[in-house]
Amino acid sequence: MYNYGKWYTINRTNQYVHILSNNLDNPILIYIHGGPGDATLPLAEHFNSDLSKKYTFIIWEQRGAGKSYYKFKENEKLTIDRFVVDLKVLIEKMLVEFKKEKVCLLGHSWGSIIGMKFIIQYPDLIQFYIGVGQVICSQKMFDKSREYLEDHTDNLRLKNKISSLNTTFNQESWYSDLMFFMSQLIKQKVSLYGKSSYLSLYPYFITSKNYSLLDCIKRLKGSKQSIVKLWHEVSQIDFSDHEDFKVPIAFIEGEYDYHASNELVYHFYQKIKSPKIYFTIRNTAHFPQWTRSDIFNSIVNSLDFSTFSNNGEMKIL
């Protein structure tokens, strides 16, 4: 079993990658974490190490996040495309290092934005793409989240605040409004299924052999600075008009994901003309890869070119 971390210089920044593999000849699968800035090495290593049986599983800590943390400069211009280019450089390095021609991508939440943009721009580098908690259209996603909160909030004052929230997030108070909005979804247990907070995930960071206390502090700093720099662009994302991709696509969605609406994902999926497949995992929300990791891992390990079809298929597990 190969279990090691490496630093790579990517577009003038040091970025950390952790590699898990039973056999380095296996296909490469790169995990693109959520956020922005929500580095998740201890969680991916704990819950998803089973993926190393079929793949060389590469967990990438993105620029400014987790072990790849550095303090963003005030005038540093960061865009989603910067992360797409970072990923391209990383993939090119992985292809040379492991003597491969293509990689598989797994993008979660914010990572699914990077993943979708990447497969649109660089399909020749990709075997297949897996979207989890996939973002399709941010404004429609926020609308669906708001609808759910309004329907499940009894407190009239709270409901009015939710209803009046400006989800373009271009107002002066956008950051505190966003934190409030997300906290309400978490409290409703439709972010981390069955949990009203993320506290149950913290021990995995504290006890990880690959994460120091300083790394945990860096992760918190990286998350905030990444949201501040990137959320305005995140809130404008819309992939709705894309139908014909040059790579096979799998979506793995949580049954109760009202953080990034699975209804929007399935509607989008039905329009895709490329080879595709759609999975719903019961009793999960925005993090099926950790809530029911056994089912999730078995799905990912089962994927190959014969899995996908142009007609598409939906499986509920």
pLDDT digits (tens, 9 = 90+) for 174-193: 999 999 999 999 999 999 99
Q: Please report how many Cα atoms fall inside a 13 Å half-sphere around the Cα of residue 61, on the Cβ side.
A: 33
| 228 pLDDT more than 90 | yes
What digits encode the pLDDT tens for the residues 75-108? 999 999 999 999 999 999 999 999 999 999 999 9
| 63 pLDDT more than 90 | yes
**Which pLDDT score is estimated for 197?**
96
**Which pLDDT score is estimated for 317?**
82
CA-closest candidate to residue 80, choices 226, 201, 241, 276:
226
φ/ψ (deg, to 5) at 223: -65, -50
What digits encode the pLDDT tens for the residues 129-150? 999 999 999 999 999 999 999 9
Asked whether residue 130 is assigned to any structural domain, the reply reads: yes
What digits encode the pLDDT tens for the residues 265-278? 999 999 999 999 99
The mean pLDDT value for 32-44 works out to: 98
CA-closest candidate to residue 87, choices 135, 129, 44:
129
Asked whether residue 185 is assigned to any structural domain, the reply reads: no
What digits encode the pLDDT tens for the residues 235-247? 999 999 999 999 9
CA-closest candidate to residue 114, choices 131, 139, 94:
131
Q: Is this prediction's pTM over 0.85?
A: yes
Instruction: Check residue 31 and give left, alpha or beta (phi > 0: left; psi -120 to 50: alpha).
Output: beta
The mean pLDDT value for 35-62 works out to: 98
Asked whether residue 163 is assigned to any structural domain, the reply reads: no
Asked whether residue 161 is assigned to any structural domain, the reply reads: no
Asked whether residue 279 is assigned to any structural domain, the reply reads: yes
| Residues 151, 239: Cα–Cα separation, whole Å | 27
Asked whether residue 182 is assigned to any structural domain, the reply reads: no
**Which pLDDT score is estimated for 315?**
87
Any idea what the CATH number is for the domain that residue 6 is in? 3.40.50.1820
Asked whether residue 189 is assigned to any structural domain, the reply reads: no
Domain that holds residue 132: 2-136+194-316
Cis, peptide link before residue 42, omega less than 30° from 0 = no
Per cent of the chain over pLDDT 90 is 95
Asked whether residue 166 is assigned to any structural domain, the reply reads: no
Give the pair of three-digit tokens for residue 171.
Answer: 């107002």
Give the pair of three-digit tokens for residue 107.
Answer: 């993008």
**Which pLDDT score is estimated for 118?**
98
CB atoms within 10 A of CB 121: 12
| Residues 260, 135: Cα–Cα separation, whole Å | 6
Count of domains forming the chain = 1
